[in-house]
Amino acid sequence: MKKILILALLLVLAGCAVWQRVDNARAEAPDKSYTVDLPLGWVRLMLDSQAIALTRDGFALNRIYIQRLDLAKAFPQLKKHASAELLPSELAEQQIAEAKTAAKETVLTVLENAPTLVGGQPGYRLRLQQRNPRGLALDRVIYGCATAKGYFTLTYEAPALHYAARNLPEFEKTVASFRLAAN
């Protein structure tokens, strides 16, 4: 049932959304809250005023999500909010709990949890692995930080078997270029 809902959502999004090939790396968030260099040759989709979705080979094979969430809606599964006053380690722990709650029947393993800078702000880097019901391992790398303007995350997800390692350097370059708006 869940797969049918996800497929229906993707069909609706594909039918009304405009996919754009990334030919110019520099991009600005739809709400002007950040700028970032996107990987050339990928395709992007503006999901709403706060998120950009990217893929090179299709969402089942690799995907990048860059988003800004309102602080009060940062962790919807947990029904918790984020705050600029939270330590990066506290944000990371909430993100892990959110991911585990969303994973439901599958096992989610934390492979790395480290502090880092995200857009010049104190943040975290998580590396998670999750096996889908058929046993395929999916790697996920999440960078996140919270400011007074929102909770920002940059997420990369791909099957561990081949695609995760192949496109991870492009994602890391994208993260390194991420800059929060000054105002």
CATH of the domain at 46: 3.40.1000.10
* Domain extent at residue 28: 19-180
Whose structure tokens read 């600005």?
28
Amino acid at 104: K
Neighbours of 29 (CB within 10 A): 21
pLDDT for 17 beyond 90: no
| pLDDT above 90 coverage of the chain, percent | 65
Contact predicate 54/43, CB 8 Å: yes
Domain presence at residue 65: yes
Tokens read off for 115: 């502090």
Tokens read off for 83: 């705050």
Domain presence at residue 172: yes
Q: What is the mean predicted confidence (pLDDT) over 89-118? A: 93
Domain presence at residue 8: no
Domain presence at residue 9: no
Cα gap 163→69, rounded to integer Å: 27
Q: pLDDT by residue (tens digit) across 78-102?
A: 989 999 999 999 999 999 999 999 8
Domain presence at residue 1: no
**How many structural domains comprise the chain?**
1
Any bridge partners for residue 75, and if so which?
80
Question: Euclidean distance between the first and final Cα of the chain, in Å?
Answer: 44
Domain presence at residue 5: no
Q: What is the mean predicted confidence (pLDDT) over 61-74? A: 94
Q: What is the mean predicted confidence (pLDDT) over 149-171? A: 94
Q: How confident is the model at residue 16 (pLDDT cuts 50, 70, 90)?
A: low
